[in-house]
């Protein structure tokens, strides 16, 4: 209820329902305009007050089970309708004010339709969470990465046993996260730590061909993000950007916040389509887009572009702070 995309959808659904109701009761265009104006005079205050109340009550609603939250949401909208009706009943200058029971019934009906839509919307996107795990296993854990990492570790066992041990620990941590049921948001600092472990493994085999630039001084470490958002992008950057180039290149990771309470994650890497010996299917990008939509709706976005031999991905998402409670 504190999501811009949700609020916009509520406004569209409710006003569409009002327009359809006015259209069904109208005999002409003039009659339609009069009825939609009359209906909106009472309905719009109920709608806006309900949204404000739900916005304020969201911390309490989110602590309850889904069904309890639905009942509470319906109760809040009915309370808003009753309050607005009582106010209009005292100051209404027209004679066609509908009955209270009719107003409450219509409010309940439209609210139920709206909640049912969001239930269907959630169920439609829910498979993206489980699909994200499958894609993590099928698309991101590529056999070449596993085998190359193991070969790099084997080459260090005799000459640098301590570094080999650290690399094996990084591999264990990385695959433990990749194979976990990643449904909940995680602190940004946790994702960065995972990315550093991944890049350390790639550095073992690519050595000087792989250069990493971290621009994260303005990073909010407590920002909550979906897990495995940055790591698969880094793997794509190494796989499609660095490996095909004989001299390698630089991957730049920039993370910062803006005054509008947004977190920006920007990743850049060199890219030469003629030398790219891999064919990317953009599965990781589609995966991330789906999960961003699932968690943040319209408040998050992912944009990618190729310009002057440089491929960049820019993710924008709302700044939700991690709570230690």
Domains of the chain: 4-125 (no CATH), 131-318 (3.30.565.10)
pLDDT category at 140 given cuts 50, 70, 90 is very low
pLDDT category at 134 given cuts 50, 70, 90 is very low
Q: Are 198 and 236 in contact (CB under 8 A)?
A: no
**Of the listed ranges 10-24, 240-254, 268-282, the one predicted with least confidence:** 268-282
C-alpha distance from residue 127 to each of 56, 103, 123, 130, 186 (Å): 30, 37, 7, 5, 20
Kindly report, residue by residue over 242-274, the tens digit of the pLDDT: 888 888 899 999 999 987 789 999 999 998 877
Supply 145's token pair: 């990465």
Bigger pLDDT: 36 vs 325: 36
| Model pTM above 0.85 | no
Q: Report the pLDDT value the prediction gives residue 125, as an integer from 0 to 100.
A: 65
Measured distance CA(319)–CA(185) in Å, rounded? 12
Task: Give yes or no for residue 131 having a pLDDT over 60.
Answer: no
């Amino acid at each position: 209820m504190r999501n811009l995309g949700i609020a916009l959808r509520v406004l569209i659904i409710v006003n569409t329902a009002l327009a359809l109701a006015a259209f069904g009761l109208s005999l002409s265009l003039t009659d339609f305009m009069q009825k939609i104006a009359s209906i909106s005079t009472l309905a719009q205050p109920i709608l806006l007050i309900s949204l404000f109340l739900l916005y304020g009550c969201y911390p309490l609603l989110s602590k309850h089970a889904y069904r309890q939250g639905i009942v509470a949401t319906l109760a809040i909208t009915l309370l808003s309708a009753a309050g607005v009706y009582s106010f209009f009943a005292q100051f209404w200058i027209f004679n066609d004010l509908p009955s209270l029971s009719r107003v409450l019934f219509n409010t309940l009906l439209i609210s139920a339709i709206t909640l049912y839509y969001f239930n269907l919307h959630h169920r439609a996107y829910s498979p993206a969470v489980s699909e994200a795990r499958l894609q993590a296993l099928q698309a991101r854990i590529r056999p070449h990465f596993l085998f190359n990492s193991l070969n790099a570790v084997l080459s260090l066992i005799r000459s640098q046993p301590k570094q080999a041990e650290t690399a094996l620990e990084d591999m264990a941590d990385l695959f433990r996260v990749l194979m976990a049921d990643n449904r909940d948001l995680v602190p940004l600092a946790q994702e960065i730590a995972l990315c550093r472990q991944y890049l350390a493994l790639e550095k073992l085999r690519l050595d000087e061909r792989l250069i990493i630039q971290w621009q994260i001084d303005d990073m909010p470490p407590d920002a909550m993000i979906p897990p495995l958002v940055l790591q698969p992008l880094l793997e794509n950057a190494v796989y499609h950007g660095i490996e095909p180039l004989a001299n390698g290149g630089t991957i730049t990771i920039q993370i910062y916040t803006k005054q509008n309470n947004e977190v920006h994650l920007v990743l850049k890497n060199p890219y030469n389509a003629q030398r790219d010996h891999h064919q990317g299917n953009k599965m990781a990008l589609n995966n991330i887009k789906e999960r961003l939509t699932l968690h943040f709706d319209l408040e998050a976005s992912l944009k990618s572009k190729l310009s002057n031999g440089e491929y960049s991905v820019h993710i924008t998402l709302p700044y939700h702070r991690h709570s230690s409670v």
